[in-house]
A and B are shown apart, each in its own frame.
Chain A
Amino acid sequence: MKHILSRTIIYFVIGILALLWLLPVLAALLVAFKTPQDFVSQKFYELPKSLGLITNLKDAMSQYKIQHHVLSSLFYSAIGAAAAILCASAAGYSIVRLRPRFNFALFLIIYSGTIFPFQMYLIPVYKFYNAIGLYDTRLGMVLIYSAICIPFALFVYRGFYTTIPRETEEAAKLDGCGPVRMLFYIFIPNSTAPTAVVALFQATWIWNDLLFGMVLTRKEEIRPVMVAVSSMMGFGGTSIPMLMSVVLAVSIPTIALFVFLRKYFISGMVMAASE
């Protein structure tokens, strides 16, 4: 009896909390579907009289060119994460298996990039980018994003590569497989799980970034999507339904990734914490 009672209380408390957590999502969804007129004239809980979502998105596209920013950010997420994965897995392989002199020191140097807050290198990178023409370029964005992603990626690969059995490697070596082919034909193909974690995490991080986009870009075609959302909020003229429709649109990719790849997300979080 007592057991059932405590179960009920737990369900009740967690249920209320879960509802509280869902409320902002539902509120934002509701507003995204309203027309600006309905939003101003209705109470917050009333359902929209006419569906405004499509018009809201269209307006955001014509006024703020959100579609350009979305494309840029897709590019940065994909290429930035891919470049980080390539660099980090090559370095991780070399550090774990080829073990050149100073391999541990090299690892620590690369890994130390993750300890400091971004603010610590923001100004010099901004000056440097301006000086060599990387400011406001796609290449510049990809480079800084992948540089920031590399330490964590290296940590993951370095840990994982130690678990790949040596027998596979020895067999390949007998077949005349050199280190580079070993990396591309044995190590990278056999590390789906860590690659999924790193790709998911880093692509999401890049997609969600505001700071570097704001500091290192200016042109509309180059600016990432979160900078565009942030500047929509800076203008008084943006209607809240339009803003919410954009928030909905730019959150769908990361939420979808999470829904489909939930187990990688969670193991990635645990890994990111233990790095």
Chain B
Amino acid sequence: MGATRRARNQNPFLSYILILPAFALVVGLLLVPMAQNLYYSFFKWDGISKPIFVGLGNYLRFFADSNFVQSFVNTLIWVVATLAIPVAGGLVVANFLRGLKLENLFKSIFFIPLTISFVSTGAVWSYIFSRDLGMLNGIIGLFSHGTKVNWLTSVPLNTGSMIIAWVWQQLGTSMVMFLAGLSTIPRDPVEAALLDGANKWQTFVHVTLPMLRPVTTVVITMAMVNSFKTFDIIYVITRGGPYRSSETLAVTMFRETFTMFNMGYGAAISALLSILVILVSVSYIKGMWKKDLLFY
């Protein structure tokens, strides 16, 4: 403690200088712009002419804009689906993988898609789902001749197809997290339960799962936040189409802002998106605060 106190008094100027670059970059390029974005969301603005103050007008427009409603519904579909499939799937895979001889090989197989960008993932899957030359219709064609499914152009199948691509990419995230979590669980309670005559499933549900709860919270929060922010994969595969049917909030925000130049409206959508993301992360941030993860 003495050392730190001495250091504090020694050279306060230098200690601030060391923080300054990080502080300036984050505040200047992220935090101040966020406040500006909130401000813009109260204006009707094409980005060039003088902004017109409309109060909550942009936010009220959400309810009347059928494109927005569609996009909001799609976002909810994404959140629910990507919560259920990769999270549950990751838990199951992690649980099965543990202790297998080929654990590392399998782990790498599920993990490699994570190192590939969303753009590349989207490119690969847009080939697989392609109507005329795609692999999936090719496989189907082996069994029933001439059947061609419009994976990417019929609604709501296109959203479903893209969710499959997402699951392929994201399963590794929750798998790695659960594996890390499982490895911290002590063996004793599990073995005690098994000795008491509980079967494997009961042990898993009543002993392992409760002990995994902190990890599960993290995985679920991460999955929800990430699916709220889904952009690249949709933009690359369908551009949100056909006729804006597969947009999510992030894609709608991009289109309204940078192709239609409704900057105020785009700002309002991003503000809404931020609120949703924060709401989802609140319990998690609180937990971190309580666990003193932020303090040293």
Contacts and interface: CB of A to CB of B under 8 A. Distances in A.
A and B co-occur in one complex: yes
A204 B114 CA distance: 10
B23 A170 contact: no
A124 B36 contact: yes
A262 B114 CA distance: 12
A54 interface: no
Given A101-B12, A270-B180, A24 B128 contact: yes
A214 B232 CA distance: 11
Given A10-B100, A116-B34, A100 B273 contact: no
Given A110-B23, A250-B117, A120 B168 contact: no
Contacts of B296: 96, 158-159, 162
Chain B interface size range: 35 or more
Interface residues of A, number: 102
B14 A110 contact: no
Given A98-B7, A170-B3, A121 B23 contact: no
Contacts of A91: 18-19, 21-23
A174 B144 CA distance: 81
A231 to B, nearest CB: 10
Contacts of A257: 115
B100 A230 contact: no
Interface in B1-35: 3-4, 7-8, 11-12, 14-16, 18-19, 21-23, 25-34
Given A21-B168, A229-B119, A273 B18 contact: no
Nearest to B229: A117
A120 B270 contact: yes
A210 B235 contact: yes
Contacts of A146: 25
Given A98-B14, A108-B294, A117-B229, A147 B123 contact: no
Interface string A97-137: 11111011011111111011111111111111000000000
Given A39-B133, A179-B18, A18 B119 contact: no
A170 B7 CA distance: 11
B83 interface: no
Contacts of A183: 18
A166 B29 CA distance: 35
B150 interface: no
Given A18-B110, A119-B273, A123-B33, 18 more contacts: A43-B138, A44-B139, A98-B14, A100-B16, A103-B19, A106-B23, A113-B26, A120-B37, A121-B29, A122-B253, A147-B28, A148-B30, A226-B120, A229-B236, A244-B127, A269-B177, A273-B173, A273-B219
Interface of B: 3-4, 7-8, 11-12, 14-16, 18-19, 21-23, 25-34, 36-37, 40, 47, 93, 96-97, 100, 106, 108-120, 122-128, 130, 133-135, 138-139, 168, 171, 173, 176-177, 180, 218-219, 222, 228-229, 231-232, 235-236, 239, 250, 253-254, 257-258, 263, 266-267, 269-271, 273-274, 277-278, 281, 285, 288, 293-296
16 contacts: A18-B109, A24-B168, A44-B139, A110-B23, A115-B277, A115-B281, A116-B274, A116-B278, A124-B36, A180-B14, A183-B18, A208-B116, A215-B258, A234-B239, A265-B111, A269-B177
